[in-house]
Amino acid sequence: MTDPLIDPLATLGFARSRLLRHSSEQPESAVPAFSPDARVVVLAGDRLVLRAAGSVLSTAVLDPAALDGTEPTARIFLGTLDGRPVFAGRLDPDAVPALEAQGLAAQDLRSIATEGAVEPEELGLLATAKSMLDWHARHGFCANCGAPTAVEAGGFRRACPACGAHHFPRTDPVVIMLVRRGDTCLLGRGAHFKEGMYSCLAGFLEPGETIEAAVAREVYEETRVRVGDVTYLASQPWPFPSSLMIGCLAEGLDEAIVTDPAELADARWFDRESVRLMLERRHPENLFAPPPMAIAHTLMRAFLDEAR
């Protein structure tokens, strides 16, 4: 197993998947029938249905028979896993008690990732399933003419029979950055954060904007700190509902911080020892970092590794 102290990307949630993905480029004939040999990922409200897969780990990739005849709606074809077709579908949240009576469980994806409830390679598949199902739930009507749309390509495309427009699943890019200045880095906390948690600054990439420009704009808007060089480190799918976190390191040009209360509750420069204590949850002020599955944790660890 990869040592996360050597490779911090090893702990990144949703970034690993063994799914051989389907796509809108493949013909309709490539979409298999839903059969007893298939596997299914089921979202009930905002929770995934799980079954125990061993003494410790669970899985959300289910045999259809495990649902005891309950038929998911909005079923879409994700691709294949170990040679078996994998579908994703929705259930009404009211179906959960009956499934729990059969020995299944329901848990939100964020908790599944944070607690390591499933294999790391399964998290990427679950992120795909949740993002796709959420997109279908929000895009039943044509953005061009307003008519109801139909599912095509196994769910990787929706088509409008009225105007002929095609609509494809979307991903919203988000820049998340650790700003360095000498031996310190800039971290902030939103008003909605857990008490004591500090993280990297982040914001959505806007139309017509480069990654570097988005990093500079977001940092300045939130702290009035200007940044110079920006370098890319890693990315992370973030299926809440369908973002891609683009992790960057940036050089801070200013020391003074002026926070906008509408953006941040607080922001500070932290030295490496403080960051290490936050990652280890041993900071004297009870400050702490996001969990290892979050890309902010990876960025903070990369800041520590620079000093080695």
Residue 177 domain flag: yes
Residue 96 domain flag: yes
Q: Using an 8 Å Cβ cutoff, are 222 and 201 in contact?
A: yes
Q: Using an 8 Å Cβ cutoff, are 64 and 38 in contact?
A: yes
Number of domains in the chain: 2
Residue 15 domain flag: no
Write the DSSP assignment of 188-218 as a string of letters. Answer: EE-TTSPTTB-B-EEEEPPTT--HHHHHHHH
Residues 185 and 283 in one domain: yes
Q: Using an 8 Å Cβ cutoff, are 119 and 60 in contact?
A: no
Residues 201 and 88 in one domain: no
Residue 155 domain flag: no
- CATH code of the domain covering residue 51: 3.90.79
Distance CA 255, CA 129 (A): 43
State the pTM of this model. 0.92
Final residue of a domain: which of 114, 130, 146? 130
Residue 4: per-residue pLDDT: 43
Final residue of a domain: which of 112, 130, 148? 130
Residues 191 and 299 in one domain: yes
Distance CA 93, CA 106 (A): 10
Residue 63: per-residue pLDDT: 94
Location of structure tokens 């020892």: 273
Residues 126 and 183 in one domain: no
Residue 5: per-residue pLDDT: 44
Residues 107 and 213 in one domain: no
Residue 222: per-residue pLDDT: 96
Residues 177 and 288 in one domain: yes
Q: Using an 8 Å Cβ cutoff, are 111 and 46 in contact?
A: no
The single-letter DSSP state of residue 62 is B
Residue 7: per-residue pLDDT: 64
Compute, in degrees rounded to 10, the torsion defined by CA atoms 203, 209, 212, 213.
-80
Residue 77 domain flag: yes
Residue 1 domain flag: no
Residues 299 and 182 in one domain: yes
Domain range for 33 = 20-130
In sequence order, the 6+-apart residues with CB closer than 8 A to the CB of 99 are 44, 49, 67, 68, 70, 91, 106
Residues 36 and 114 in one domain: yes
Residue 54: per-residue pLDDT: 67
Residue 248 domain flag: yes
Residue 68: per-residue pLDDT: 85
- CATH code of the domain covering residue 284: 3.90.79.10
For the record, the structure tokens of 177 come out as 């950055």
Please list the rounded mean pLDDT of every run of 10 residues in the chain (308 residues). Answer: 52 94 94 93 96 81 91 92 96 92 93 93 96 96 97 97 97 98 97 96 98 98 97 96 97 96 94 98 97 96 88
Reference 122, options 74, 173, 88; nearest CA is 88
Residue 220 domain flag: yes
